[in-house]
Amino acid sequence: MDSKKKPNEKADEGKKTKDGKKGKDGKKDEKAKKKDEKAKKKDAKAKKKDEKDEKAKKKDAKAKKKDEKAKKKGKKAKDNEKAKKDEKTNKVRDGEKAKKKGKKGKKAKDDEKAEKVKSDLPAIPLTLLDQTPLGLRSASAIAHVGGGHALVVDDDEGIYVASADGQARLVLGRDEFEALGDLESICTSDDGKTAYVVTEESGEVLAMKVARRGASVTLSDLRSLGTLERPGNTENKGWEGASHLVTPSGPCLVVAHEREPKVIAVHSLPSLALLSSIDLDDGPLGALVDDVSDIAVCPTTDHLFVLSDESHCIVETRLDVEASRLEILGVFRLDLDAKDKPEGIAFESPTTLVIVTDNPSRRLRFRLARGSIS
């Protein structure tokens, strides 16, 4: 067999080689084409992502702008609200200043008027006999029980017995009865056998038996008679004074509300039925005294003596229970330091009037000359 190939065969082989090469190149091109398409898709995807990110950025920028606008609007609204509030506060402050100024002016006029009224009134004929320091912290009221002894109220502790030399011992305190830590008043019946107290805030009336044997004074049988309704509700301005009075209809308890409003009321005993109520703010006595710290009924004339801590004076009045009226008879200016607080008043005898002061606690005894005021 001839090993040499014929020209036709050589041509066929060349063609086959060429075709094979061409097929390889085609596959290569196709692969490259696919690669390009893949790259294009990737680029398109990346572009799409970039566009999406750009869109998100624009959206965020828009939202941020909106937030900033809302913040500015909120700040403006807040500033406007603050400005309105400040304006309102300034108006209130200015109003309060004007009110205070008006009150000061009114008080100055009232004080001037009160001084004129005082100067026109007869002076109560009182002469200071002596003054004694009391052995308790805060004396608020006093009631005499004879033999030189007196019951003295400490508004935070309870009831003390004070001797003539001012020594005092606690006989009934708030530990035994909580209400005794809120007292500003005390008085005794005409026979001295019963003591009455009224709690300042709640208005509870307590009665107790008083027994004296020589230098010994005891209190027992503490009982509640009921509660007096307060005419006002200002804290620490409640029932401040009490005194015993016998009228044709029977025994009564006369009580004083310190201020806001200043009131004198009369209640029957032991029922506490209201017989009379006098609003001092509506009358001349209200112009004379800024407050009522205690009251005392004279044992011979039944005149009601009104003590004022803030005005540092005593006013003698005639009390008409049926007509609910007080007639001013005279006034006495207390010669005390500005820091002194005259808190309690009581009769030791028909011609001896006693006052107790707080800060410091002292007892002042005055002689009352009868016959000058009737």
Are residue 200 and residue 100 in the same domain, yes or no? no
The side-by-side arrangement of strands in the sheet containing 263-268 is 239-247, 250-257, 263-268, 274-279
Res 1 pLDDT > 50: no
Are residue 88 and residue 141 in the same domain, yes or no? no
How many Å apart are CA 336 and CA 364, to the nearest integer?
Answer: 11
Cα separations in angstroms, 352 against 128, 184, 305, 357: 10, 22, 13, 17
Structural domain contains residue 216 = yes
pLDDT at 320: 96
Are residue 181 and residue 286 in the same domain, yes or no? yes
User: Could you tell me the sign of the dihedral formed by the alpha carbons of 99, 102, 104, 106, in that order?
Assistant: negative
The DSSP symbol for 24 reads: H
- Apex CA 307: angle with CA 367 and CA 190, to 5°? 65
Task: Specify the pTM.
Answer: 0.71
Are residue 74 and residue 161 in the same domain, yes or no? no
Are residue 194 and residue 151 in the same domain, yes or no? yes
Are residue 189 and residue 318 in the same domain, yes or no? yes
Confidence band for 102, pLDDT divided at 50, 70 and 90: low
Are residue 162 and residue 29 in the same domain, yes or no? no
Are residue 177 and residue 107 in the same domain, yes or no? no
Lowest mean pLDDT among 85-99, 239-253, 257-271: 85-99
pLDDT at 260: 94
- Apex CA 172: angle with CA 169 and CA 173, to 5°? 95
For residues 293-314, give the mean pLDDT.
Answer: 97
Structural domain contains residue 363 = yes
| Mean pLDDT, the chain, whole residue set | 86
Are residue 30 and residue 17 in the same domain, yes or no? yes
**Residues of the chain with pLDDT > 90: what percent?**
59
Residue 181 near residue 174, CB atoms below 8 Å: yes
Lowest mean pLDDT among 9-13, 269-273, 353-357: 9-13
How many Å apart are CA 327 and CA 317, to the nearest integer?
Answer: 5
> Of 120, 145, 162, which residue constitutes the final position of a domain?
120
pLDDT at 111: 57
> Of 85, 120, 155, which residue constitutes the final position of a domain?
120
What backbone torsions phi and psi does residue 175 show, to the nearest 5 degrees?
-65, -35
What's the CATH number where 326 sits? 2.120.10.30
Higher-confidence position of 73 and 112: 73
> Of 67, 89, 120, which residue constitutes the final position of a domain?
120
Residue 180 near residue 158, CB atoms below 8 Å: yes
Are residue 343 and residue 246 in the same domain, yes or no? yes
What DSSP letter does each residue of 167-205 carry, written as one string? -EEEEEETTT-GGGGSB---EE-TTSSEEEEEBTTT-EE
Structural domain contains residue 373 = no
How many Å apart are CA 40 and CA 160, to the nearest integer?
Answer: 108
Residue pLDDT, tens place only, 29-49? 777 788 888 888 888 888 888
Q: Which helix (H) or strand (E) holds 254?
A: strand 250-257
Instruction: Provide the residue range defining the domain that includes 30.
Output: 9-120
User: Domain tally for the chain?
Assistant: 2
Are residue 14 and residue 146 in the same domain, yes or no? no
